[in-house]
A and B are shown apart, each in its own frame.
Chain A
Amino acid sequence: MESSIQGKMIRELIAHFSSDLLIGKKIKNGDLRKKLVNVEPRWRCPEGFSWTEIQMKDFTMDWAGTGGK
């Protein structure tokens, strides 16, 4: 079974950007992925969910949920 039209389009879009001379290398080697961490806007938690940042000794954690279980 072939992939969907949407799937094929997104796959080709990714291939297009990842083969770009300017940013392709940074996509493939993870440089762009690393930078995203620092430039992303602050997370906006959807209504109905709670979101807490927990500080551990060496790292932080996100604790998300509806307070259910």
Chain B
Amino acid sequence: MLQLHGGGYIAGMRNAYRTFGVVYSELGGNISVLTPDYRVAPEHPFPAALEDALAAFDWLLAQGYGEEDIILAGDSAGGGLVMSLCFLLRQRKRKLPCGIVAMSPWTDLTQSGDSYVINFERDPLFGKTKDSMIYNKDYIGDADPKNPYISPLFGKFHDFPPMLIQVGSYEMLLSDAVDVANKAKKAGVKVRLAVYEGMFHVFQMGLRMMPESKKAWHEVEEFLTILRRGEA
């Protein structure tokens, strides 16, 4: 598995993602998990993170894994980045990985979705202000925020592998997940979208502390099992 961590493209790797790596490994049947501490803004704006994600993917291939062996996983910015990586691979006429797990993916850096308004007051992490990470433009720099490599929502999802997308209903990023799921489904992609009622951004960090996070990880386990068996 190649795991791309969250952090709004402005914050690096932290121990929570090393824990996620262990959980993914266990749930995936002792799979190995690669987690790059990719470069972040403002020192390294777009496309640095995407370039590093591609370098990590290529590193796995150099170790002898095939694209069909690789699952991409990411949360928040990492959830968007896994989709951007697939666009890049497809654009270069390369094979895509066998599946995607995206938790609260940040797919729209233009903040165009309804949930940016509807959940403005109730999102416990990002709500009630526009001075938050999800409005930060450091990663975008001089680029167009509608560039699908920055905002995957504006890309085309044909030929994408099966995706499991999880999101909380209280998130300002709810639309990012729902709209991508709908668009990908229309493009013929197998998508499982799970909206967890009352949950917040990357609530899976709760691991076993909350029934919702336990259920979400169980759902991940089922998805990984399906991918491993080639039943997706």
Residues of A bordering B, CB below 8 Å: 1-4, 6-8, 10-12, 14-15, 18-19, 25, 27-30, 33-34, 36-37, 40-41, 43, 45-46, 49, 51, 54, 56-69
Contact = CB atoms under 8 A, between A and B. Distances in A.
A37 B33 CA distance: 20
Q: Which 10 A-B pairs have the closest CB atoms?
A: A3-B198, A65-B32, A68-B30, A15-B124, A30-B133, A28-B132, A14-B124, A61-B36, A33-B11, A66-B30
A7 to B, nearest CB: 5
Interface of A is mostly: mixed
A35 to B, nearest CB: 9
Given A3-B212, A30-B11, A59-B37, 8 more contacts: A2-B198, A29-B133, A54-B59, A56-B36, A56-B59, A58-B39, A58-B48, A60-B37
Interface stretch (B13-21, B92-100, B152-160): B13-21
Contacts of A59: 36-39, 52, 55
A12 B124 contact: yes
Indicate the size class of the contact surface on chain B.
Answer: 35 or more
A69 B210 CA distance: 30
Contact of A2 (B31, B127, B197): B197
B30 A7 contact: no
Given A33-B133, A54-B59, A65-B31, A10 B209 contact: yes
Interface of B: 7-8, 10-15, 17-18, 21-22, 25, 29-39, 48, 51-52, 55-56, 59, 124-129, 131-133, 136, 170, 196-200, 203, 206, 209-213
B37 A7 contact: no
Contact of B25 (A25, A30, A66): A66
14 contacts: A4-B211, A6-B211, A7-B211, A8-B198, A29-B132, A29-B136, A30-B132, A58-B48, A58-B55, A62-B34, A62-B37, A64-B33, A68-B32, A69-B30
Contact of B170 (A11, A18, A34, A36): A11
Given A49-B22, A54-B59, A61-B59, A7 B126 contact: no
B119 to A, nearest CB: 12
B55 A56 contact: yes
Contacts of A40: 14-15
Contact of A18 (B29, B124, B198, B210): B124
A69 B13 contact: no
B209 A6 contact: yes
B86 to A, nearest CB: 19
Contact of B125 (A28, A37, A58): A28
B31 A68 contact: yes
Contact of A28 (B7, B18, B133): B133
A11 B169 CA distance: 12
